[in-house]
Amino acid sequence: MAKYKKSFTNPHLYRQFSNNPAGMFDYTMTNIMDGFYNGAMNSAIDGKFKAVCLSGINSESNTGAGTGGNDAVISGPFINLIVRPLADFGNIIPDPRSSKDPNKINALISLHASTFTARSDEGFDITRGIDFGQVIDCYFEKGSITNSDFRSLRFSQPEGKVIETSFQDLSLIAGVEAVSVFDWSGASMLGSGTNYNELGAEHLGTTVPISSGIKWDEDGASIAAQKRKYAFEALRPYLPKGVRITSAFRTQADQDRINRDYAGKYGYKGNLSDRSAVNQFNKDNKLVINLYTGRGHGGKSKTGAFDLAPKKGDASVTVDLIWAAVQAGNTALAGKVKYSPLRRSGGNSSVVEHKNGCVHVAFFLEEVNLPPN
């Protein structure tokens, strides 16, 4: 019987590796790695273990609707996620948190997919999606950790939501957020705004009342709600008269309604209850509307956003003029509020939506400083 573990280097073959320095180095490094695997596997358990979800870092979509290489994938009634075990044996693959290079981070996540892709152990409910950075319970249905037989990795639907922020922070690194998740073909990169500097003070300072339907957060009294509202109120003096706010914080129900409204406006004849088909119709019509709430309107990752549009019937205000006003506000409000530029590295970008007829103004809550009471 062999006196060394399965898949480990036979120690009796050392002479085959010691006839030159390079060979001896390779042999030594192999033994070091064998020792690591042995220790990691011996300290692991074959029951349930904690893992962190790595799918969805780019598109924030773990519903099967995402098109990114590291997004969740639907398989019949189940969904497959890339995970990283939080047990010792997870260290057989380099940790994405070890790098600040966005390309390397995405590559390391892809590397995890080859070994640690977990399938839901029951039919997946898209209304209870798993977020990037969320901690979940995993187990091997058939394989074994100690035998290095990583087969049939499964995850259980979590009861609550625990986020490992050190992973979630990776999505904020410049370049990691994939701008390809948006359809930018109907959006302006710069916005002309050539007439803004010609506007007199009498034309600035929107007086359009805030609609009662505007939400700032699920909890209207929260700090997040106060910051989102202040971000808009602070911008008011720099906006042309006749600019109105059309949306701020949104629930998923709000997002679904907006998708349906635009689809109906553009002649959609399909099933309005099929949110994916409705959203795809909107994308085909070059409308910049996300399927699911996330950063910005959804408030994910401590973000905020509001949409601005000309008052109905006011042809003197264009979306380019509104964007120029946002840029002017950014300069004047330095240290108080910072609005995201177009295509911001790290995600949560502002967008000039010509076809939608509005400007999506995005920001991070940490860059909104409430005035003292």
Integer angstrom CA distances of residue 278 from 128, 261, 357, 358, 362: 20, 10, 19, 20, 24
Does the structure show a pLDDT above 60 at 190?
no
Domain boundary among 119, 143, 169: 169
* 257 in a structural domain: no
Task: Examine the pLDDT at 192 and tell me if it is beyond 70.
Answer: no
Domain shared by 130 and 214, yes or no: no
Task: Report the range of poorest mean pLDDT among 37-46, 109-118, 134-143, 182-191.
Answer: 182-191
131 found inside a domain? yes
CA quadruple 107, 109, 111, 113: dihedral sign: negative
| Percent of the chain at pLDDT exceeding 90 | 20
pTM of the model: 0.51
The reply to whether 165 falls in a domain is yes
Same domain, 164 and 232: no
Q: Do residues 36 and 163 both lie within one domain?
A: no
Binning pLDDT at 50, 70 and 90, where does residue 10 land?
Answer: low
Question: Do 104 and 29 sit in the same domain of this protein?
Answer: no
- Verify that 93 and 148 share a domain, yes or no: yes
- The residue among 135, 169, 203 that closes a domain is 169
* Residue range(s) defining the domain that contains residue 35: 11-42
17 and 57, same domain (yes or no): no
Phi then psi for residue 82, to 5 deg, are: -85, 130
**pLDDT of res. 191:** 41
pLDDT classification of 235: cutoffs 50, 70, 90: very high
Tell how strand 135-140 and strand 153-156 pair up.
antiparallel
Let me know whether 206 and 300 are in one domain: yes
Same domain assignment for residues 34 and 63: no
- Do the domain assignments include residue 192? yes
312 in a structural domain: yes
242, 249, 247, 233: which is closest to 329 by C-alpha?
233
Identity of the highest mean pLDDT range in 196-200, 228-232, 241-245: 228-232
Asked, for residue 300, whether it belongs to a domain, the answer is yes
Are residues 202 and 116 both part of a single domain? no
Domain membership of residue 247 (yes or no) is: yes
In a domain, 260, yes or no: no
What's the number of domains the chain is made of?
3
User: Do both 58 and 194 map to the same domain?
Assistant: no
